[in-house]
Amino acid sequence: MHYSGMTLYHNHKISSPNHMQHHPTDHKIGRLIPWQGKDYRYFSGTAYLGMGSVPPFEQEILQGIQQYGPNHGASRFSNVQLEVYEDLEQQFASGARAPYAALLSSGFMAGYLTQTLLCEMAHTVWAAPDAHPAILPANYQPDPDQSFHEFANECIQKSHQVKGQTIAILSNAVDTILPAIHDFNWVKDLSPANTYYLLVDDSHAFGLLGKGIYGTYHQWKNLPAHLIVAGSLGKALAIPAGIILGDAYFIEKVKSSATFRGASPPAPGYCQAFLQAEKLYEQQQTLLQENMEYFFKRIDNTSDQLRYDPRFPVVTFKNSGWAPKLLEAGMMISSFSYPRPEDAPVDRIILSAYHTKEDLAHLASAIVSG
């Protein structure tokens, strides 16, 4: 099975000397990574809110495990049911301004189940060029050279060439490689002669964009399409689980599917911790926002070298070669080939709430001095 888009991750082993080295570690990853006797400032990963560095959050997880045990390996529909799952679904749906939610064991599972059901319902599937493999049908290959703007225009044009079709549109909320936050207002320009389902993968939006920590559902719910938002809670929110948000009809299809009924739910202790952690998330959001403003201000005159959106904590270098240079200066950034294995690596900075002003000043200075 071949996927295009964001499919090449840090553990993709490539022998070329131009690629980022691997740094195996046997402990929690935070703002500092010890390697070969030296501490490196870490600017990679997806822990945008730095929740693993928040002791009260860890305590909530430990208390949740003490309350519910290490795991719950039974179906959600077994005769003994834990209330925490439905509590999380109700809280998340309410916070996102969505009618209903379905909780799953991972973001990939949430995306996969959603796109599988949509493919059964739709005559046609249109996937954005950066759509994550979790929301792509098997053997579907978006054009990685197409821009999101070109994709949107193509959807509008194709929609006016058909009538009476059910069409599924699949996209990430964010292109984390460019980076770019996607706008879906163009859905208003689709032909009204068809029925549309819009699936947005909010894995990199939960905790960062939209309504509080709850993502972009409320932002797009009034578009002329049946909106479904799916994604991982394991990035900014640090909960190993996935969620699907949608209307009663679709969430009922999810919960009555053999996949949902047969799969084990997430570990309940983490779900309990999530329910207790809203203020901690908000605190970390404030810290991240301050860090972003501080850092972006210091790299303001480097537009010839960098791409970024001030609303999102990822910065991409326009040219490769920065990873080894910054490693020499004591900093690890994200670096991997994209979109093909033979391409030059894409070097990126990921900012987190756990970074100190000193970390950010050190990084900015290294970039500005070249």
Q: Which of the two residues, 16 and 259, has the higher pLDDT score?
A: 259
Let me know if residue 249 belongs to a domain. Answer: yes
Same structural domain, 154 and 251: yes
Structure tokens at 321: 């070669």
User: Does residue 285 share a domain with residue 196?
Assistant: no
- The residue among 301, 331, 333 whose CA lies nearest residue 315 is 333
In a domain, 216, yes or no: yes
Percentage with pLDDT > 70 across the chain: 92
Question: Shortest CA distance to 266 belongs to which of 88, 84, 105, 81?
Answer: 105
Domain-terminating residue out of 276, 292, 325: 276
Residue 297 lies in a domain: yes
Contact 44, 313 (CB under 8 A): no
* 150 and 105 within one domain: yes
**pTM, rounded to two decimals:** 0.91
- pLDDT surpassing 70 at residue 2: no
- Asked whether the beta carbons of 350 and 326 are under 8 A apart, the reply is no
Work out the average pLDDT over 321-339: 89
Give yes or no for residue 15 having a pLDDT over 50: no
Asked if residue 2 belongs to a domain, the reply is: no
Domain identity same for 142 and 154: yes
Structural domain harbouring 285: 278-305+362-370
Residues 71-87 pLDDT 10s: 887 778 777 788 999 99
CATH of the domain at 217: 3.40.640.10
CA–centroid distance for 154 within its chain: 25
In this prediction, residue 34 carries a pLDDT of 86
Judgement on whether residues 294 and 261 belong to the same structural domain of the protein: no
Kindly state whether residues 239 and 288 are assigned to the same domain: no
Claim to verify: residue 142 and residue 96 sit in the same structural domain: yes
Nearest to 12 by CA among 346, 353, 352: 346
Least confident of 12-16, 82-86, 166-170, 292-296: 12-16
In a domain, 296, yes or no: yes
- Quick one: 213 and 282 in the same domain? no
Across the chain, how many H-helices and E-strands are there? 11, 14
Residue 144 forms part of a structural domain: yes
Question: What is the residue-averaged pLDDT of the chain?
Answer: 90
**Is 353's pLDDT higher than 90?**
yes
Same domain, 145 and 267: yes
Do 197 and 84 reside in the same domain of the chain? yes
Per-residue pLDDT reduced to its tens digit, 199-253: 999 999 999 999 799 999 999 999 999 999 999 999 999 999 999 999 999 999 9
Q: Kindly tell me if the per-residue pLDDT of 180 is higher than 70.
A: yes
Give the residue among 107, 115, 142, 196 at the shortest CA–CA distance from 4: 142
Q: Is the pLDDT of residue 13 over 50?
A: no
Q: Provide the pLDDT for residue 285.
A: 98
Q: Which two tokens stand for residue 240?
A: 């190993």
How many domains in the chain?
2
pLDDT (average), residues 154-159: 98
Residue 336 lies in a domain: no
pLDDT at 161: 97
Instruction: Indicate whether 268 belongs to any domain.
Output: yes
On whether both 178 and 267 belong to a single domain, the answer is yes
Q: What is the pLDDT of residue 243?
A: 98
If asked whether residues 297 and 199 sit together in one domain, one would say no
Which region among 12-16, 272-276, 285-289 has the lowest average model confidence (pLDDT)? 12-16
Answer yes or no: is pLDDT of 146 > 60. yes
Dig out the tokens for 58 from the structure.
Answer: 């860890």
pLDDT (average), residues 8-20: 38
Residue 6: what pLDDT? 31
| pLDDT single digits (tens) 281-329 | 999 999 999 999 999 999 988 778 899 999 999 999 998 889 999 999 9
Q: 6 or 330, which is more confident?
A: 330
